[in-house]
Structure 1
Amino acid sequence: MLEHYLQSPAPQLRAFHAYFNCNMSAHGDSGDDIAGFIPELFDGHTPCLRDLSLNGIYVPLTSPIYTGLTSLALAYPHYALYPASRISDIIHVLAACPLLKKLRLSNIAFILGDDNPPPTSPLHMQRLKSLSLEDVDHGDVRFILASIRVSPALRIYVTMNAEPALPMYDILPGNVMDVFPNISTTRTMDVDFAEGAIGICCSARSGIKFKLTVTSRGGSDDRDRGACFSSLRSLGNLPNLTTFSLCFPDDNIRYSDTNVSSALFIENMERLSSIKSMSLIRCPASFIEALRITPTSHLCPRLKSLYVEKHNFDDVRLSAIVLSRTTEAPATRGQVKLERLSVRVYERLNELESRADLEQLPLSVDVEEDDPDEVDQDVSEYYEGSVDMGYSS
């Protein structure tokens, strides 16, 4: 009886959510031999359908059921090849749904890859508010993002598995400010280099605008971190950015200067010159030292607040950095001064400056000294539970 209803026209149906629990991964070209494959739903007649969610069920993207939708979710229990469909078919689906507000694709790839570039006339999706691409093929993500134009209200969530053979972070089009005006409204950027999950999160006053998370079962290495940091170039200058944080998993590890270099940090900070508040958590000492104003370098000229966190600061002279950015330094005359320094240290500051030395500096200073054993335990528990980094939509 259920099969009869699924095959019959449904002229009044407004929402349809279906889930098929199948342990088989999709394979083959036609889809006829794949569990969960349905050539057509409701005889292709669903004129009132607006909300469609299919999990583990394959309906060809050429079906008329993908018409006039405001919400579409295609998800699968395992990474699957969508039968008999090209990536360009997704764009045709979007064109048939001009009022679409929410699109989610999860664990999906297309077996008939398109060698053609994205359409020269992009599709304007001004009603789209949420775009979530979870474990979608890297090339398919890039094709979709390059094929649409959106409003500043859009929120983009991208989750990918690390594949060293692919340029994982090269997914945004070159003219990102024109294509995604939502990213240009970014006021806060968080870059997290956690073990097993690297992420970039851009937020505006209205909430998250862009999240990219790359997970790796084998753990992230310096190449992944370097690629992620390099990918910030594709986000543009972000003229509204005021708050920036960068978090490394462990500052007791010596990171490769080839992949995670102070030169790359300096390049990013020169471009992101509007930052007013910065947090550097377990970062290489060279990153913190780069904030010192010299006759040839003045990164983040609007910086007012700095938070730094490390096991120890033996290789960093915080007082020298602070004095170069306060009223006592000739280099800062007529410029924005650093007003607040917050320090969290797990072991000790260093042999040359004490907590009292920092508290005498001409700005507001907070120093938090922790027991190293307790901190290491807290950090371990944090990373054991942070593989997805909370990047769910």
Structure 2
Amino acid sequence: MENTQLKDLPQLARTSTDLVHHHDRHHSLDTQSQASAGSTGPCANMDTETGRLWVAAGAAEDWTARRLAALRRRHQNYLTPLYRHLPNELISYILELVDSNHGLGAIGLLAFLQVTNLWREIALATPRLWARINISHTPPALTEALLRWSKHTPLDIMCTFPRPSFDHTARNVILISLHADRWRSLHLCGVDGVDSLLQSYAPRLEVLSLDRFTSLWLAPRKVIFSGAAPPIRELFLVGGVIPLSSPVYSGLTRLHLGCAYLDSHVGGLILAIEASPGLQSLHLDQIALEPSPTLDHTRTKSISLLHLVKVDLIHLPAWTIRHILSCLITPPNLAITISNGFEDLSLFRGLDDILPPSTQREPITQSLSRADKLKVSFHARSHAWLSQLCQMHGDVSSACVFRFRIWGYDSAMNYTLTSLGCVFPMPRLKSLALVNLLCAAASPADFATVCNNLPSIEELALDGCNEALLSILLGHQYLPRLQALSIENSQVSEEFIVQLVESRAKATREGETDMLSSVCVGAELLQSLSLTKCRGVTPEMVSTLERLLNKVVWDGGYYVPR
């Protein structure tokens, strides 16, 4: 027999010997019982020897069957198309995709090592699989293994809320700090006692995220990264602060500041933003700034951010929003999200208090004017002392152009409504949805102003209105291009709906006369009407409307003319 065949004989011999010894122990007990009964002699010894041989033969047969089954399974694995046709590099890439799409984590990745020998070899030869480490949930022994398996690959370090029973974070901090030269990203969330990580020299750090990092908030002047600023590209600070004069604000592509007092006036924030001319995303949420006594929007220094595509100014005082927007020179594809704070709402008038002065509004106007779809909804206050809310969503080809959340009292809501299309023009706007106009105390004159400011509307949806407001749409004086009208949650009579449709639609059935006495030059005829949750609508009325329109939609069903 060859050496490769002989290497399994020792294990087979040990298995057979163990089973024979087990048989002997049981057989000795049987022999003693037979001796007490007087049945001893040569036959008993022959039975013992025979039993031992049968046990040894059975053990060899069982072991051989198990060994052959294991070899067949292993051979089948190697014969599958995954192993026969795919190179190891591609299998390694597939493992990385599985991890990136499902976020397996270090514990989940260990399953790759237990599938087959080939999987284990490929996984251990893929350093990027092991480069993401959560030191608040990973045992130190596994952390050491991950650092070893990741070799020289840049590391993504996370330290989130640890489990109550887990007390190895301090040990992991020491292990990770020894590899600070490999850090690519550092995410610290709600964890104290890891200040030493911010004191490490991290020359390759690109992403820094500090969320509710109270020790940094209590000591904002602390020197970080040994005084040598790493090449950070994305900076996220929530509940903590790094002085705006720090060099970490230079060269950023993403800046996120939230829930913090910056200990600076708005001019200092503008200077920090100016240090990153390649900035692509700016997010400011509930930050407190010192008011500048000499604040003058007309003399503000402008900064050019030609790569900026997203600006979020959330829960900030109106004067802060206005000042920041006045300083920015941005590309026309900018997406803007704005929400004013609750300071001095009694003096807040509307969009004019948020947007830059008219002489400095053109860069922002270029972005806002791209919208072809607008939805404006008003929400009533639940208590007398609470302010109202106006939400404005502007889109172009289903992509966000702007999101406004305007807080204020009745006068601000009314002015916000009537300033649509006036504060900034929207010449491309085709679709308009107005929700709860009555909450904004809108009068027919206010609605007429909106329609007059937005003459390009082709689709109009009204949710929560009355006949007084809808009377503005009689004839073609307002919204001459209107082709589709949707009315929802409104109290309207059957006679009024028929009158409204007759004034804007042309009879389409052959032999019927035109019901319009006069049509404005260039005006479009109403083509479709949708009625949802409107009292007074009957099947008979729908039948009448079918003779006037190409399409009628009622919450009782679809009605298409024959």
Letter of the 2:375 counterpart? D
The Cα offsets for residues 221-279 of structure 1, whole Å up to 9 and x where unpaired, read as 64343133134255423111000000018xxxx667xx522212211211211111110
Which residues of 2 match residues 354-373 of structure 1 at below 5 A?
A: 354-369=541-556
Higher relative contact order (CA 8 A, sep 6+): 1
Give the root-mean-square deviation of aligned CA atoms: 2.8
Change in CA separation of 1:44 and 1:322 when aligned onto 2, cut-off 3 Å:
farther
Choose between structure 1 and 2: higher strand proportion. 1
Letter matched to residue 57 of structure 1: G
Matched ranges for 1:86-235 at <5 A: 86-118=265-297, 119-162=299-342, 163-169=345-351, 170-173=353-356, 174=358, 176-195=361-380, 197-205=389-397, 207-214=399-406, 222-235=410-423
Question: Letter of the aligned partner of 2:367 in structure 1?
Answer: N
Q: Which secondary structure does the structure 2 equivalent of 1:89 belong to?
A: helix
Is residue 2:72 matched to residue 1:72? Answer: no
Q: Which amino acid aligns with 1:99?
A: G
Q: Which residue of 2 aligns with 1:13?
A: 205
Aligned match of 1:323: 502
- Report the secondary structure of 2:518's partner residue: helix
Q: Retained in 2: the 8 A contact 1:123–1:149?
A: yes
* Maintained 8 Å contact 2:249/2:272: yes
Residue 88 of structure 1: CA displacement?
1.1
Counterpart of 1:264 in structure 2: which amino acid?
A: D
Instruction: Give deviations 1:265-320, integer Å, cap 9, x for gaps.
Output: 21121121111111011123322110111xxx611111111101134213971222
Give secondary structure in 1 for the equivalent of 2:450: helix
- Tell me the residue number matched to 1:288: 470
| SS of residue matched to 1:356 | helix
Q: Which runs of 4+ in 1 moved over 6 A?
A: none
Tell me the alpha carbon deviations over residues 40-82 of structure 1, each in whole angstroms, 9 at most, x when there is no partner.
4324532411111111111111211110000111112xxx542
Task: State which drifts further: 5-14 or 240-249.
Answer: 5-14
AA aligned to 1:74 is L
- CA distance in 2 between counterparts of 1:122 and 1:69 reads 18
Distance 1:357 1:277, change over 3 A: same
Is 1:42 the equivalent of 2:240? no
Which residue of structure 2 lines up, in the alignment, with residue 310 of structure 1?
Answer: 489
SS of the residue corresponding to residue 347 of structure 1 reads: coil
Structure 2 CA distance for aligned equivalents of residues 316 and 129 of structure 1: 50
Distance 2:505 2:494 in 1: 21
The 1:241/1:19 distance shift into structure 2, 3 A limit, reads same
Query: Does the CA contact (< 8 Å) of 1:150 and 1:180 recur in 2?
Result: no
- Counterpart AA for 2:334: L
Deviations 1:335-359, CA, capped at 9 Å, x for gaps: 3111111111343239xx8333333
Residue 266 (structure 1) aligns with: 448
Contact 1:311-1:348 within 8 A present in 2 as well = no
User: Equivalents in 2 of 1:316, 1:264: separation in Å?
Assistant: 24
Q: Does 1:59 align with 2:242?
A: yes
Bigger Cα displacement from structure 2, 270-279 vs 202-211: 202-211
Rg larger in 1 or in 2? 2
Tell me the matched-pair count.
Answer: 342
Contact 2:198 2:224 in 1 (8 A): yes
Tell whether the 8 Å contact from 1:191 to 1:200 is kept in structure 2 after alignment: yes
Q: What secondary structure sits across from 2:489 in the alignment? A: strand
**Hey, what does 1:237 align to over in structure 2?**
425
Give the conservation status (yes or no) of the 8 Å contact 1:132–1:157: yes
- The runs of 5 or more residues in structure 1 that have no matched partner are 25-31, 371-393
Q: Which amino acid aligns with 2:327?
A: S
Contact 2:486 2:531 survives alignment (8 Å): yes
